[in-house]
């Protein structure tokens, strides 16, 4: 598949703003709606979890709800059906924790960006008040590069510089803490998805796939039905499912491109080729349209088959939200990479500042540091938009 890539060079000091612009759909080449989870993702996940948490949990309640008992003749074990309903309920109960962590991530981004801007501006003010800088400001004539090189720290300058190094180290500690929190959120999102598709959790524990269990039950229930009476609908569903499978394979290509971009340090460089581009958005939209159509046909086919309808609805819900969590994990991967770059940048700033002992290098540091601080003002604005997504979502639910 040929891809048109959007290439641009992102300066290290702008990595935070560039990442958040991507996640909030403020980049002109981004087509994915704003959010680690988009607004529509949150609405659909909430609908699913609301449904899943409304399911009965005790064996007797499940039997009563499905209008079955231990002697009911089904092509599957009654215990297997009961177990999967209970697992769906248990899994859905974990969503609140995921949602709160992701929202807190957005709040933390807003807080740390504000702190970096405020503290950074204070550092610049302190530097400007250093005797060595005041000496330059009070000079009648512009000093030459040689003169600036020869203008070295005095005792007061060194004392202020030592205090400022301590403040820079505090900023570095805050960023490390946020980086660790982002890694934990990434694990939380990955673990929730792992229960859907199966595989290893962040603690290396293996879990079976809920989606596979549900599909297996549906296939066994499907095997006893007479398809001749509604053959055209069965054929249409089969074709739609094949197209969904093709779209999922195509979307995996965009996921790989996004990961390739991250591995190469190319946040934003493969926008049109990754999950944030217009092509990926078209695939997402088409897949969701097809799944909706499949559900509608399934409702017609299973209007008199309650158990099949319930199991199929769960299957489609799981397919949908698995995609939302895949995208969210990639979005957090971008934040993870952002913190890595910023930590490297702040570490270099500390090492550079510690070596400075003259006016020339101090002026260079101020110019560079101002760029970093200015870029973080945008991060605060973008992160506030991520917080608003959750507030809008809550308003939607309260009026639903």
Instruction: Tell me if the pTM is above 0.75.
Output: yes
Least confident piece of the model among 82-86, 157-161, 280-284, 305-309: 280-284
Contact yes or no for 252/226 (Cβ under 8 A): no
Q: Which residues of 146-175 are buried (b: 16+ CB within 10 A; e: fewer)?
A: eebeebebeeebeebbeebeeebeebbebb
Report yes or no: 358 and 149 within 8 Å, Cβ to Cβ: yes
In this structure, of 41-45, 133-137, 375-379, the range with the lowest mean pLDDT score is 375-379
Q: For the residues 343-351, what does the mean pLDDT come to? A: 87
Percent of the chain with pLDDT over 70: 81
Residue 189 reports pLDDT greater than 90: yes
Question: Comparing 202 with 270, which gets the higher pLDDT?
Answer: 202
Using alpha carbons only, give the angle 277, 281, 284 rounded to the nearest 5 degrees.
145
* Stronger pLDDT, 142 or 186, i.e. the higher one: 186
| Statement: residue 113 has pLDDT above 90 | no
Phi-psi region of 92 (alpha: psi -120 to 50; beta: other; left: phi over 0): alpha
Which residues share a beta bridge with 207?
199
Q: Which residue has the higher pLDDT, 44 or 2?
A: 44
∠ Cα 316 318 319 (to 5°): 65
The mean pLDDT value for 114-125 works out to 90
Q: What is the mean pLDDT of residues 331-354?
A: 86
The two three-digit tokens of residue 171, written as one number: 């900023």
Residue 374: the pLDDT is 81
The CATH number, out of the four listed (3.30.310, 1.20.1170, 2.60.40, 1.10.3470), of the domain defined by the range 12-398: 1.20.1170
> What's residue 3's pLDDT?
43
SS3 207: strand
Task: Check the CA dihedral 187-189-193-195 and report its sign.
Answer: positive
The first and second tokens of residue 39, run together, are 């607004």
Report d(CA 52, CA 314) in Å as an integer.
8
Could you tell me the pLDDT band of residue 269, with boundaries at 50, 70 and 90? very low
User: What are the DSSP E strand ranges found in the chain?
Assistant: 199-200, 206-207
Average pLDDT (257-279) is 53
Average pLDDT over residues 261-285: 59
Q: 206: helix, coil or strand?
A: strand
| pLDDT tens-digit series, residues 333-343 | 888 888 888 88
Q: Would you say residue 399 has pLDDT above 70? A: no
Does pLDDT of 90 surpass 80? yes
Q: How far is CA 24 from CA 19, 21, 204, in A?
A: 9, 5, 32
> CA of 295: how far to CAs of 290, 292, 302, in Å?
9, 5, 10
pLDDT of residue 7: 47
Structure tokens at 127: 């530097």
| Rounded average pLDDT over 29-34 | 76
pLDDT tens-digit map of 215-265 = 888 888 876 655 555 565 666 777 777 777 777 776 666 666 555 544 444
Torsions phi, psi of 160, nearest 5?
-65, -40
* Nearest residue to 327 (alpha-carbon basis) of 280, 275, 282: 275
Task: Kindly provide the b/e burial profile for residues 27-40, where b requires at least 16 CB atoms within 10 angstroms of the residue's own CB.
Answer: beebbbbbbbbbbe
- Report the alpha-carbon distance of residue 194 to residue 81 in Å, rounded: 21
Portion of the chain with pLDDT greater than 90, in percent: 26
């Amino acid at each position: 598949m040929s891809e048109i890539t959007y290439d641009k060079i992102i300066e290290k000091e702008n990595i935070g703003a560039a990442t958040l612009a991507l996640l909030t759909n403020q980049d002109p080449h981004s087509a994915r709606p704003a959010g680690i989870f988009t607004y529509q993702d949150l609405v659909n996940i909430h609908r699913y979890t609301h449904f899943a948490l409304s399911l009965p949990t005790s064996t007797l309640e499940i039997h009563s709800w499905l209008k079955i008992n231990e002697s009911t003749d089904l092509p599957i074990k009654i215990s297997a059906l009961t177990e999967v309903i209970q697992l769906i309920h248990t899994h859905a109960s974990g969503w609140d924790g995921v949602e709160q962590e992701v929202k807190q991530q957005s709040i933390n981004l807003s807080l740390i960006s504000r702190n970096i801007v405020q503290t950074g501006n204070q550092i610049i003010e302190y530097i400007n008040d250093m005797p060595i800088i005041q000496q330059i400001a009070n000079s009648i004539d512009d000093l030459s590069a040689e003169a600036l090189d020869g203008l070295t720290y005095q005792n007061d300058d060194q004392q202020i510089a030592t205090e400022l190094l301590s403040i820079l180290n505090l900023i570095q500690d805050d960023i490390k803490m946020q980086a660790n929190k982002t890694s934990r959120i990434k694990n939380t999102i990955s673990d929730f998805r792992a229960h859907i598709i199966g595989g290893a959790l962040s603690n290396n524990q293996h879990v079976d796939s809920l989606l596979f269990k549900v599909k297996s039950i549906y296939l066994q229930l499907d095997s006893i039905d007479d398809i001749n009476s509604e053959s055209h609908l069965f054929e249409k569903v089969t074709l739609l499912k094949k197209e969904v499978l093709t779209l999922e394979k195509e979307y995996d290509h965009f996921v790989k491109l996004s990961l390739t971009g991250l591995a190469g340090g190319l946040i934003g460089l493969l926008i049109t080729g990754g999950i944030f581009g217009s092509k990926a958005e078209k695939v997402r939209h088409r897949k969701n349209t097809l799944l909706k159509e499949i559900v509608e046909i399934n409702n017609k086919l299973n209007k008199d088959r309650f158990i099949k309808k319930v199991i199929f609805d769960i299957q489609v819900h799981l397919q949908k939200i698995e995609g939302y969590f895949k995208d969210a994990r990639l979005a957090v991967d971008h934040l993870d990479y952002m913190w890595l770059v910023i930590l490297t940048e702040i570490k270099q700033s500390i090492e550079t500042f510690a070596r400075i002992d003259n006016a020339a290098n101090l002026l260079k540091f101020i110019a560079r540091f101002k760029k970093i601080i200015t870029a973080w003002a945008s991060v605060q604005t973008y992160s506030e938009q991520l917080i608003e997504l959750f507030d809008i979502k809550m308003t939607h639910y309260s009026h639903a």
